Structure 1
Amino acid sequence: MITGTSSGIGLAAAVAAARAGWQVVATMRDTGKAGPLWRAAAEAGVAGRIRVERLDVVDHDSVAACLDEVLAAYGRLDAVVNNAGAGRVGTIEQTGMEDVRATMEVNFFGVVEVTRAAMPHLRASRGRVITVTSVGGVVGQPFNEAYCAAKFAVEGFMESLAPVAASVGVTVTVVEPGAVASEFVENVGIDRAAMAAAAGPYAHALQAYVDRATKTFSQAQTPAEAAAPVIEALTAEKPAFRIQTSDWARDFVGVKLSDRDGSAVQGLTGDWIV
C-alpha cells in the first residue's frame, strides 16, 4: 500500500513496485486524479497489478476504511510506503499557526496514523514500513521551518520505531530524496511576486532562496529515479534504515551527520540567502 500516488514519487513507486511483481494498492485523497497513474501503469503493462483506493492520511476513518479494503481484497498487508506529503515555504513570523499545524498534520501525523493502523497487519506478515522523508528531514533549510520540522519529526519517529518494530519482525526504512522534478513543487504554490511583496525585512533573503531553489529543481532527479530506492527497500533482504536517492543527497545529508557542533550546516545553508 502506497500513499500519495496521484503524482510524483508515489506514482512512480506504484508503477515500479507493480513491475517488480507486487500487487499494489495505490492510494490518494482524490481518486478522480488517478488518470496519470492509470496511463503510466498501462504504458508499463502493469495496470492489472494496481488497485486504486481513496485514502486521506489525516482522516482516521479514511485510513481504517482503506486498510479494511486491502485486507478484504488480499487477506494480508506486506508493506506500507508512506509517501503522501505537502510542502510549505515561508518563515515563521509570517506564517499563520494554522498553516504550521496543517503542515505537521499531513507530513507527520498522517505518517503516524497510517503506520499505527498498519502495524498489526505488518506484524502478521513480518512486513515493511518505508517512509519517504526528505533531506529536509536531516538538514534544516531556510524558509522551510514548518516542512523541515515535520520531516525531522518523521525521521525521529521512524528512527525510534525501527528497533521496536524489528523486535516483532517488521523492517523500517526512510528514503531521503533531494530535489525531485514533480508536481510536489507546483503544489507548494510559490507566487514569487506576491511572496516578495509580502516578505518585508525578509525580502532579500527570500528572493535569494527562491532563486537558488528554482535552479536546484531545474536540475532535479526524475520521480522514477527518486522512487528506485523505494523499490530497493521493498525488495532487499536487509535494507538499510536510511537510504538517500542520489549522490547529491548522500553528500548533503552527510554534512549534517558528521557536524557535531552545527557550524557546517549553518555555514552551508546560510550561504543560500545572501
Structure 2
Amino acid sequence: MSAPTVLITGTSSGIGLEIAVGAARAGWRTVATLRDPARAGPLRAAAEAAGVADLIEVRRLDVVDQASVTACVADVVAAHGRLDAVVNNAGAGHVGTLEQETVEDVRAVMEVNFFGVLHVTRAALPHLRAARGRLLTVTSVGGVIGQPFNEAYCAAKFAVEGFMESLAPLAATHGVSVTVLEPGAVASEFVANVGIDPEAAIAAAGVYGPALRAYLTRSATAFAAAQSAADAAAVVVATLTDPEPAPRVQTSPAARRFVAVKLADTDGLGVAALTAGWLREPPV
C-alpha cells in the first residue's frame, strides 16, 4: 500500500513546521499547507535536513478563504486518491479586552481560529469518512480555561473544543477519530506574531493598565519555561500514529496540570482564583 496522506495547516513555522517534518519521518505522505507558499523556505530546509523532502509537498491553503480550502482538499484527493488524516494547526494569537477593541477585531480572531477550522474540517470529512481516518485539531489550554486579555482568543478555542467534542461521537460512527491537542506555552513565532508593544499597550489600556502589566509579566515568565515546538509536535505526531487516540491530549505535563484545574472544578472557583492572581502586581 502507498503511504497514508495527511494534510496539515499552518506549517510555515513553529508547531506546524515540526508536525509536518515529524509526520513525514513517521512515513506519512505529508501535504504541508500555508497561506503564502513563499514562506515555505524554513519548512523545506527542515525537510531536507531530516531527509524527508520527498515525502513533503507544499500547497497553498488559506483557512479563512473557503474557496481556497475546498480547492486544496480536492486537489490533494485528486493527486493521491485519498486523504487519511487532517491536522488543523493554523491559528493566530491575540491579546486584548473587549472595551478597547472593536467587534470587527473579535470577528477576525474567530475567523482564523474557529471558522478556519470549520472550513477545513467540513471539506475534509467526506474523504476522512471514506478512509476511516482521523481528524486532529491543535487548540490550546486556552480552550479549556478562559484567560484575561485573551477573551476573543479563548472564545474561539472554546468554540473549537465544543465543536470537536460534539462532532467526535458522530464521526466515530463512520470510523473517523477526532482529537483535540492542547499545548500550553510553546516557544515559537506564535507569540511574536501577536504583535503588541508591551509598553504602548499598557499605556493605552487606561484603567486596565496595571492589570495588563501584571498579566504580561506573568506571561513572560511562563514563556521563559515554554515547551519547545518540536516537543509539542512530537505529541501531535504520536497521536496521529496512535491506533486508539484519546479525544483530548495535552502536549506537556504543565498543560495537563493546568487544564486539570478546570476539568475538576465543578463550581468554577478554582479557575477564578487561579486567573485572578495573574492580574495582581507582585510586591516590590
Partner Cα distance (2:126, 2:78) in 1: 15
1:73 matched residue in structure 2: 79
2:38 alignment partner, one of 22, 26, 32? 32
RMSD, aligned CA: 0.6
> Which residue identity lines up with residue 222 of structure 1 in the other structure?
S
Q: How far has the Cα of 1:260 moved from its partner?
A: 0.6
2:89 alignment partner, one of 67, 70, 83? 83
Partner Cα distance (1:221, 1:43) in 2: 22
| Residue correspondence of structure 1 range 255-274 to structure 2 within 5 A | 255-274=261-280
2:102 alignment partner, one of 85, 96, 104? 96
Partner Cα distance (1:143, 1:78) in 2: 37
**Structure 1 stretches of 4+ moved >6 Å:** none
How many percent of aligned residue pairs carry the same amino acid? 68
Q: How far has the Cα of 1:189 moved from its partner?
A: 0.5
When normalised by structure 1's length, the TM-score is 0.99
2:227 alignment partner, one of 207, 221, 236? 221
1:8 matched residue in structure 2: 14
Q: How far has the Cα of 1:186 moved from its partner?
A: 0.5
Counterpart check, 1:198 vs 2:207: no
Deviates more, 1:210-219 or 1:135-144: 210-219
Report SS of the residue matched to 2:28. coil
Partner Cα distance (1:95, 1:262) in 2: 27
Report SS of the residue matched to 2:227. coil
Partner Cα distance (2:136, 2:103) in 1: 29
> Which residue identity lines up with residue 9 of structure 1 in the other structure?
I
Q: How far has the Cα of 1:209 moved from its partner?
A: 0.3
Report SS of the residue matched to 2:174. coil
1:42 matched residue in structure 2: 48
Q: How far has the Cα of 1:129 moved from its partner?
A: 0.3
2:23 alignment partner, one of 8, 12, 17? 17
Report SS of the residue matched to 2:186. coil
Deviations 1:105-126 (CA, angstroms, capped at 9, x unpaired): 0000110110011000000000
Counterpart check, 1:172 vs 2:178: yes
Query: Structure 2 regions of 5+ residues with no counterpart?
Result: 1-6
2:4 matched residue in structure 1: none
1:149 alignment partner, one of 155, 166, 170? 155
Counterpart check, 1:186 vs 2:187: no
2:240 alignment partner, one of 234, 244, 249? 234
Q: How far has the Cα of 1:228 moved from its partner?
A: 1.3
When normalised by structure 2's length, the TM-score is 0.96
Partner Cα distance (1:145, 1:127) in 2: 33
Partner Cα distance (2:73, 2:198) in 1: 40
2:121 alignment partner, one of 98, 115, 118? 115
Partner Cα distance (1:60, 1:268) in 2: 38
Deviations 1:213-263 (CA, angstroms, capped at 9, x unpaired): 111111101111111121122111100000000111000000000001000
1:161 matched residue in structure 2: 167
Deviations 1:53-75 (CA, angstroms, capped at 9, x unpaired): 00000111100110122012111
Partner Cα distance (1:31, 1:99) in 2: 26
Query: Structure 1 regions of 5+ residues with no counterpart?
Result: none
> Which residue identity lines up with residue 24 of structure 2 in the other structure?
A
2:63 matched residue in structure 1: 57
Q: How far has the Cα of 1:135 moved from its partner?
A: 0.2
> Which residue identity lines up with residue 208 of structure 1 in the other structure?
A
Partner Cα distance (1:229, 1:158) in 2: 19
Deviations 1:7-26 (CA, angstroms, capped at 9, x unpaired): 11100000000000000000
